[in-house]
Amino acid sequence: MFMDTKQLYRIWLDNASADPDLKAELEKIGENEDEIFDRFYRELEFGTGGLRGVIGAGTNRMNVYTVNKATQGLADYIKNHGGKSVAISYDSRIKSDYFARSAAEVFAGNGIKVNIYSELMPTPMLSWAVRSLKCDAGVMVTASHNPAKYNGYKVYGSDGCQVTIEAADEILGYINKTDVFTGVKTADFDESVKTGLISYIGDDIIDAYMAEVRNQSLHPEVCESAGLKVVYTPLNGTGNKPVRRILKEIGIKDVVIVPEQENPDGTFSTCPYPNPEIREALELGLRLCEKEKPDLLLATDPDCDRVGIAVPDGDSYALFSGNEVGSMLLEYVAKERKALGKMPEAPLAVKTIVTTDITAKIAEKYGVELVEVLTGFKFIGEQIGFLEKKGRQDRYIFGFEESYGYLAGGYVRDKDAVVASMLICEMAAFYRAQGKSLIQVRKEMYEEYGFYCNKLDTFTFEGASGMQKMNDIMDKMRTDYPKSVAGFKVIGFADYEASEKTDLLTGAVEKITLPKSNVISLYLEGGNKAIIRPSGTEPKLKVYYTAVCPTMTEAEELQKKMSAEFSGLVK
């Protein structure tokens, strides 16, 4: 039976007593119809990325009830498939530990064995726990790099990869059958620990993960002798212990931590948007660099699956993009594997469709097959799984996405800022031994393969009307896309929802074999490109630009022109 938002509000006001914060919030908004509507006009969307939303009361918020409802649905899915165990981890966000503990109680209430970390741990270590402990599923409580008001709930399959579209749809079916107040089974956490239904993940699992990370090193000997100095900020998240540990283990002893961002803090008071893609998040680190004069600044996001860097450039520090770091790591891994005789037969690398095309030229040089997948690291993890089923996981050498996510090795199935931090430092030390800075290495890369300027514009559409506005823009783009951009003719059009790519010069239509997705690509003359897609986790429309020119200055100017034109289109 359909209920309006006011009815739902009254039901929650009468029943939401588990968390006193929710009761107080509901009482506070009693006379505010707009606030009530925003909290109850829909349920948080559950998909391959799980749940993500603003923390608070209501069906359209992250709270103990929406978490428990999702967990009950996941528990029903696990039991229906004969599953018996899960792993749980969580980050430093507000209520992450509470949501993780509550999810554990729901699994235990359903007779499902729970393995949970005793303290906050990175997302890749959740993937590792699922695989290492042979669990049937995993839950990571995190909103990754979102602002402090958000939290989320990522769901992983038995392969340690975020669930597939098919699995997410089936889980959603179970969630939709669950009454948020009466349909959830629970067991007491402490009692379940006593009976063994809930167990803490031991140091042996953590140590084994760190050993797998170290196994991805190609030149472990260079770090001890390079004298590399690093400033590191975990941005008040989960990276503090594992990143510092791996750097120490590979011989990097001079590591200075940004003190204000060292310890867990879900309010992220020094970086309101704790995303290493954004310069503001690195400001305290950059200020410390002015004093410490390190060779490298590392910054990991709250759940430590992304890492950003800055390196000395004259008297200041230059930030590298995810496309640049990923491309340089791909070349370092491919080149040194080949030099060391460690390149597998038919090596393979993976990138997302919005990631720089310079990778194609690097892969071609070293004889690496490059596979392109949809946006989302789960699709990179899926490719490793395909190789594993064929007994050829060794073929995978590297994968990355432009949003600062990298993975070498198939020991986990999600991006891993711990291994990425290690390899970035090793790469810097390796080139330093050759008398090269990372600035020089980047310059040489562009001079050899071409100057690619890859930029991202984001357009925010908040509130109940935001999703409809984004859908309207995408629908219009499908039927009335521009015929030229910044003076370059549009020569190709791809609609990933229709699974078709059209050559506008010949009229030839090619089938896109990737899963259907709300993405549109415009291919321009000269290798230039624009890709438009709504974010899967935030109320944002994203436009990715590729500008290719004889110099970086020209490429940057072209990108600015493309951006200016799209700003008028995407409104």
Residues identified as active-site: 144
DSSP for 378-441, please give it. HHHHHHHHHHHHTT-GGGEEEEEETTTEEE-SSSSSS--HHHHHHHHHHHHHHHHHTT--HHHH
Q: What is the CA radius of gyration of the chain?
A: 24
What span, in angstroms and rounded, lies between the C-alpha atoms of 158 and 137? 5
What span, in angstroms and rounded, lies between the C-alpha atoms of 316 and 286? 9
Q: Is there a contact between 89 and 174 (Cβ–Cβ < 8 Å)? A: no
DSSP code of residue 55 = B
Q: Is there a contact between 494 and 503 (Cβ–Cβ < 8 Å)? A: no
What span, in angstroms and rounded, lies between the C-alpha atoms of 449 and 549? 11
**In whole angstroms, how far apart are CA 534 and each of 27, 472, 519, 570?**
34, 11, 8, 11
Q: Which residues contact 366 (CB under 8 A, 6 or more apart)?
A: 331, 334, 335, 338, 343, 347
Write the burial class of residue 219 (CB in 10 Å: 0-12 exposed, 13-18 middle, 19+ buried).
Answer: middle
Q: Quote the tokens at residue 63.
A: 């709270």
What span, in angstroms and rounded, lies between the C-alpha atoms of 516 and 327? 27
Describe the chain by its helix, strand, coil percentages, rounded to 5. 40, 20, 35
Q: Which residues contact 44 (CB under 8 A, 6 or more apart)?
A: 51, 52, 53, 59, 60, 61, 62, 66
